[in-house]
């Protein structure tokens, strides 16, 4: 079994295990909501803080990675907005789901694959890419919600407050601050964050599987097709072109490709 298959097999097993456990009602329905909340607000932020805080940005091609992330996401957002202008969607709220389906990525799958293929280096560089993507994606999605969603725009302050209340953005900012300041993750905090963060990927993948609803695909083919085209066609193409343009190679290039080839996040249905 090659390295790629060896890295992906545990990921797929955990996703299908989550799907099976949910359908078998092994846990009460509300337990899955609790698992998602625990992962989103505690486990995954701990993983990001430890991984970003320990990574020396000076030794990573972070600026090139940032420009690739910005270029790919803005291109994808522009194409989705263009599709909406062609009256591909019946209403604004529906467009917000299509937009999220094409712009978001599944952080749990991306980092699990990066770690499985490249170990600690893959997780560290994957966390840098994920940090950039999380911040920009949330900025784009909240902007789309404000314009086309059912929530009216109430000013800049609530907009910024909503962004800054995101636990993943907070974790990225803390991790980057620790790295750039040279402090790093101090002493025992490293061990605590490692223990907590170690549970993030398996719990996250189980939650991904539990959230799968194949029956929900019925009657929404055009919208799903557009999101899928951007997610699995446009974004991989643009990331490949921009990686070549900026001269990225090795693990940094590979983790970007992985991140932009994952399925969308479960929150895209909101």
pLDDT beyond 50 at 268: no
pTM for this prediction: 0.83
Instruction: Output the pLDDT for position 96.
Output: 83
Choice between 4 and 106, residue whose per-residue pLDDT is larger: 106
| Percent with pLDDT over 90 in the chain | 39
Binning pLDDT at 50, 70 and 90, where does residue 270 land?
very low
pLDDT beyond 70 at 6: yes
Q: What is the pLDDT of residues 205-263, one digit of tens each?
A: 999 888 887 776 666 677 788 888 999 999 999 999 999 999 999 999 999 999 999 88
Query: Contact at 8 Å (CB) between 21 and 206?
Result: yes
- Whether domain 3-269 has CATH 1.20.1530.20: the reply is yes
Average pLDDT, the chain: 85
pLDDT beyond 50 at 194: yes
Instruction: Output the pLDDT for position 155.
Output: 64
The residue with tokens 């992985």 is 258
Instruction: Output the pLDDT for position 2.
Output: 65
pLDDT beyond 90 at 264: no
Instruction: Output the pLDDT for position 163.
Output: 76
Query: Contact at 8 Å (CB) between 113 and 48?
Result: no
Query: Contact at 8 Å (CB) between 136 and 69?
Result: yes
Identify the H or E element spanning 174. Answer: helix 167-181
Binning pLDDT at 50, 70 and 90, where does residue 91 land?
low
Binning pLDDT at 50, 70 and 90, where does residue 150 land?
low
pLDDT beyond 90 at 95: no
Instruction: Output the pLDDT for position 211.
Output: 84
Which of 10-14, 25-29, 76-80, 265-269 is predicted least confidently? 265-269
Q: What is the pLDDT of residues 54-83, one digit of tens each?
A: 877 667 888 999 999 999 999 999 999 988
Query: Contact at 8 Å (CB) between 105 and 137?
Result: yes
| Percent with pLDDT over 70 in the chain | 89
Query: Which one-letter DSSP state was computed for residue 212?
Result: -
- How far is the C-alpha of 139 from the C-alpha of 84, rounded, in Å? 19
Query: Contact at 8 Å (CB) between 84 and 92?
Result: no
């Amino acid at each position: 079994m090659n390295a790629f298959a060896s890295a992906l097999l545990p990921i797929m097993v955990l996703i299908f295990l989550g799907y099976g456990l949910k359908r078998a009602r092994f846990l009460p329905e509300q337990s899955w909501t609790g698992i998602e909340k625990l992962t989103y607000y505690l486990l995954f932020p701990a993983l990001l803080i430890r991984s970003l805080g320990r990574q020396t940005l000076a030794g990573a091609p972070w600026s090139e990675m940032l420009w690739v992330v910005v270029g790919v996401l803005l291109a994808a957002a522009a194409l989705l907005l263009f599709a909406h202008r062609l009256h591909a969607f019946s209403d604004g709220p529906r467009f917000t789901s299509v937009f999220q389906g094409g712009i978001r990525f599944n952080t749990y799958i991306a980092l699990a694959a990066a770690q499985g293929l490249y170990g600690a280096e893959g997780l560290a560089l994957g966390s840098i890419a994920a940090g950039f993507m999380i911040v920009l994606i949330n900025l784009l999605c909240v902007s789309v919600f404000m314009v086309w969603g059912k929530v009216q725009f109430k000013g800049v302050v609530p907009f910024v407050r909503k962004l800054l209340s995101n636990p993943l953005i907070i974790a990225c900012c803390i991790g980057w601050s620790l790295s750039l300041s040279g402090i790093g993750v101090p002493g025992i905090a490293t061990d605590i964050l490692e223990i907590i963060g170690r549970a993030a990927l398996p719990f996250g993948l189980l939650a991904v599987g539990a959230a799968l609803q194949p029956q929900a695909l019925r009657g929404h083919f055009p919208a799903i097709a557009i999101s899928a085209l951007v997610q699995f066609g446009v974004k991989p193409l643009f990331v490949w072109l921009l990686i070549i343009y900026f001269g990225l190679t090795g693990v940094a290039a590979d983790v970007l490709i992985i991140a932009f080839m994952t399925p969308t996040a479960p929150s895209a249905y909101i």
